[in-house]
Amino acid sequence: MTLRRDLPPRWWEPAGGGPGRWMQRSEVPADARFFGLGGRASGPRLRDGTYRLWNTDPGMSFGPGDDPLYITMPVQMVVADAGTHLVFHDSSWDGTVTLREGEEGAGSGHDRPGTSALRMDGGRCGAG
């Protein structure tokens, strides 16, 4: 079973204008779950949503969903029945990662893989 399938990176420019950015899309098994390493107030599990790669120190108290550390290593840990892997997004450019958990087909054989879409404001993009 494949643990991760990376699609080729691409340079994406908005149709209405604006700055371009790199995008790297990946697929993981339907049963995979995403976790983030770093100081998240809401815990390490990363649910469906968009997360910023490089964070700023709020300089005050923080609540659920805030990231109190000003530089958290942009790392994902992906756990599935087939195995576990780490993904490092090593870049000094600002960016986001959008995660969507997969869905198992309840025996029908029609699983929907989970996805991860990395977007960076500049620099280089690639899988390693």
pLDDT digits (tens, 9 = 90+) for 8-35: 888 878 888 887 888 889 999 999 998 8
pLDDT digits (tens, 9 = 90+) for 82-108: 888 888 776 667 778 899 999 987 666
pTM for the full predicted model: 0.72
- Backbone CA torsion sign across 26, 119, 126, 128: negative
Task: Give which of 71, 31, 65 is closest to 49, Cα–Cα.
Answer: 65
Furthest C-alpha separation in the chain? 50
